[in-house]
Structures are given as C-alpha cells and as structure tokens.
C-alpha cells in the first residue's frame, strides 16, 4: 500500500527542524532511520501531514564517551555504528551484546537507537538495554533542552512524553562507578525477527561485589519492564548461585507475558528465568554475553 499524501521537509539544522515541527500543524513526525515509521505509513497505521527528515542535520551521528565515562549516542547514530563500535566493545558489554541482534543488516544500516527509544515498541531491544543501564533521553524543543530518564520517557506502547515540537537529540548512559559486566539475550523465531523474549542485564562491580544492577525485559509486557526486585537481589555481594537464582525468579515474576503464536506465557516466563541465569552465569567485567536463540 502507498502512504497517504504528506508534506516532506528536510531541514539543514536542528533549529529549523524544531521550527518546522512547531509550525507544522496537528500531526507532524520526525523521520530518522525510517525503519519503523515508513512501514507504519505504508500500512496507513500512521498518516502524518508533515514529515521532518532530520538526516541532513549535521552533528547528530555520533556516539562518544565524555571524560567521566558518560556515553552519548546522537539521534543519527545507526544500529550498525553501534554494532561495529570498539568503544562499546571495550566499555559497554550490555550494549555491545544487543547491537548485533537488532533486526537484520539492512535495518541496522539505517535505523537508530534514539529512533527506537522514541518508537517505544514493547518489543524494541534498545529500550531494555538503556533502562537496565539507567539511561536517559535529551530532548530539544522551542523552549530549550530537557533530560528525561528512560523510565519516565515511555508512557505506553508506541507512546512517549515528547511534545509534538520536540526532537530527541541524544541518549545518555551514565558513567559506571565500578567495572561493567552484563549482556543481552534474545529469543526470536528466526534471525532478524523481533524478540519473543529479551533480557538486558547491566552490572557494575567492585572486586567481587555487585555495586549496581539493572535488569529489564523486552517483549513480555505492554511496554519495557524494569525488573527492579531482581536487580536489587544482586546488589551488595558477589554473584553467588543463590543470588543469581533469586534474581532469575524475581525477573520471571516481573514479566507479564501473553500466550500468542510465539509461545505460551509460561514458556516466555521460563525463558526470562533462563536468560537471567545465563547472563549472570557468564558475567565477567566488560565481556558481553551475547547470543541469538531461534
Ligand atoms: C524488518 C524489521 C525488523 C525489525 N526488527 C527489530 C528488532 O529485532 N529489534 C528492534 O528493536 N527493532 C527492530 N526493528 C525496528 C528498528 O530497530 C527501527 O530502526 C527503530 O525501531 C526505529 O528507529 P528509526 O531510526 O528507524 O526511526 P524512525 O522509523 O525514523 O522513527 C520511528 C518513530 O520514532 C520517531 N522518532 C525517530 N527519531 C526521533 C527523534 N530523534 N526525535 C523524536 N522522534 C523521533 C518518529 O517520528 C517515529 O514516530 C525492525 C524494523 C524492521 C523494518
């Protein structure tokens, strides 16, 4: 199917893009990688009046670490940039594990991490990863910049808190206080598919002690789920079998899966438990646990 008729603008600066959104009427949409928006438009699930394509806006295609270790991922940084990133491989095991299992190479060449967060698909992989890492989104609008923790950013399936004239300019991952460990595991029906179940685990350790933990779940609820009790079970001591078992049980309890053509709710809950156990069993500082299970 063809999309409905729309006006297309390709501004050359962020200010111009924000101005176009501000003056753009009731239904304007930002276009980044187009890997979610364009399919929705072709199916006419989305019929915006105005498309503001930000691909000509300079200076948004970065990912970099500040001196204190804060990681910044710009709005035009593609999944593929993150998949190939030496920076992620050396310092962000959970992100390094997730990047290669997002969709397929064609989608990864165009799609963006920030676009994925904005799209707020409960089956989006990046939202769990960024949530486990305690990340946030920086938005810019006519009134200036604001920073929104990822836990507050998504309000429901395919909904976020951005105003119609705001653009998400970057995602921010705070610096680790200790050594990072963790991973991302994803069950998919075939390579390139969305997650039937995804689990992101992000740890910070000092010696053998876990000093911070984040666990978040993909595809097993109406939106990304933060498994807070599971993460709390890991903090304050070493990764013993008891703690790992407790965290896996809490994470399975936090999941809210539904039975569908991808599997029963019971099976999906079991996979959450299995993935948490598996990631934590392999967790070594800065070595990503990564795997596609089909
Ligand atoms: C075949 C296929 C398989 C896929 N499989 C997976 C998968 O396994 N895992 C996964 O996580 N994703 C998957 N995706 C989705 C893909 O990751 C998209 O790239 C991502 O969801 C959206 O990023 P984008 O840059 O393409 O955003 P776009 O499609 O350009 O935009 C998506 C939405 O976010 C808004 N938006 C985008 N950027 C901004 C911004 N900077 N500020 C404000 N609003 C913004 C848009 O207005 C739109 O509403 C798949 C897509 C396809 C087509």
CB of 268 closer than 6 angstroms to any ligand 1 atom: no
Please give the order of strands across the beta sheet that includes 209-218: 225-226, 209-218, 197-206, 179-187, 289-293
Positive or negative torsion for Cα 235, 240, 246, 250: positive
Q: Give the pLDDT score at 26.
A: 75
CA of 109 to the centre of ligand 1 (A): 12
Rg (CA), the chain: 19
Q: Where are the beta strands (DSSP E) in 119-178?
A: 136-141, 144-149, 154-156, 159-160, 167-173
Q: What is the mean pLDDT of each run of 10 residues along the chain (294 residues)?
A: 92 98 89 97 93 98 97 98 98 98 96 98 96 98 97 93 97 96 94 92 96 97 96 96 96 97 96 98 62 54
CA-closest residue to ligand 1 atom 20: 116
CA-closest residue to ligand 1 atom 13: 103
Q: Give the pLDDT score at 284.
A: 60
Assigned token pair, 175: 């610096």
Assigned token pair, 11: 């501004």
First to last CA, the chain: 30
pTM of the model: 0.95
CA of 242 to the centre of ligand 1 (A): 38
CA-closest residue to ligand 1 atom 47: 30
CB of 112 closer than 6 angstroms to any ligand 1 atom: yes
CA of 159 to the centre of ligand 1 (A): 13
**What is the atom index within ligand 1 of the atom nearest the CA of 158?**
49
Reference 248, options 263, 231, 265, 264; nearest CA is 231
The CB-side HSE value for 73 (13 A sphere, CA atoms) comes to 28
CA of 37 to the centre of ligand 1 (A): 7
CA of 29 to the centre of ligand 1 (A): 12
Reference 285, options 212, 179, 207; nearest CA is 179
CB of 205 closer than 6 angstroms to any ligand 1 atom: no
Task: Tell me which residue has tokens 């598919």.
Answer: 193
CB of 212 closer than 6 angstroms to any ligand 1 atom: no
CB of 30 closer than 6 angstroms to any ligand 1 atom: yes
Phi, psi for residue 290 in degrees, rounded to 5: -135, 145
Q: Give the pLDDT score at 287.
A: 43
Please give the Cα distance from 260 to 245 (Å, whole number): 27
CA of 35 to the centre of ligand 1 (A): 5
Each residue of 19-62: pLDDT tens digit?
A: 999 998 779 999 999 999 999 999 999 999 999 999 999 999 99
């Amino acid at each position: 199917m063809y999309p409905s008729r729309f006006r297309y603008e390709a501004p050359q600066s962020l200010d111009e893009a924000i101005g176009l959104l501000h003056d753009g009427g009731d239904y304007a949409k930002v276009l980044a990688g187009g890997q979610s928006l364009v399919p929705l438009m072709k199916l006419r699930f989305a019929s915006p009046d105005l498309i503001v394509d930000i691909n000509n806006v300079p200076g948004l295609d970065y990912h970099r670490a500040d001196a204190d270790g804060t990681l910044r991922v710009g709005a035009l940084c593609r999944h593929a940039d993150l998949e190939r990133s030496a920076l992620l491989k050396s310092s962000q095991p959970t992100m390094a594990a997730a990047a290669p299992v997002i969709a397929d190479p064609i989608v990864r060449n165009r799609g963006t991490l920030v676009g994925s967060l904005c799209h707020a698909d409960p089956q989006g992989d990046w939202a769990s990863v960024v949530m486990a890492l305690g990340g946030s989104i920086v938005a810019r609008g006519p009134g200036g910049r604001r920073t929104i923790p990822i836990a507050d950013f998504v309000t429901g399936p395919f909904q976020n808190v951005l105003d119609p004239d705001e653009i998400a300019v970057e995602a921010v991952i705070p610096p680790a206080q200790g050594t990072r460990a963790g991973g991302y595991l994803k069950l998919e029906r075939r390579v390139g598919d969305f997650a039937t179940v995804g689990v992101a685990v992000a740890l910070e350790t000092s010696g053998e002690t876990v000093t911070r933990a984040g666990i978040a779940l993909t595809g097993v609820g109406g939106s990304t789920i933060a498994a807070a009790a599971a993460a709390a079970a890991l903090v304050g001591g070493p990764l013993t079998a008891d703690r790992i078992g407790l965290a896996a049980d809490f994470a399975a309890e936090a999941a809210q899966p539904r039975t569908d053509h991808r599997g029963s709710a019971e099976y999906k809950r079991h996979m959450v438990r299995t993935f948490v156990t598996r990631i934590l069993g392999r967790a070594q500082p800065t070595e990503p646990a990564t795997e596609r299970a089909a």
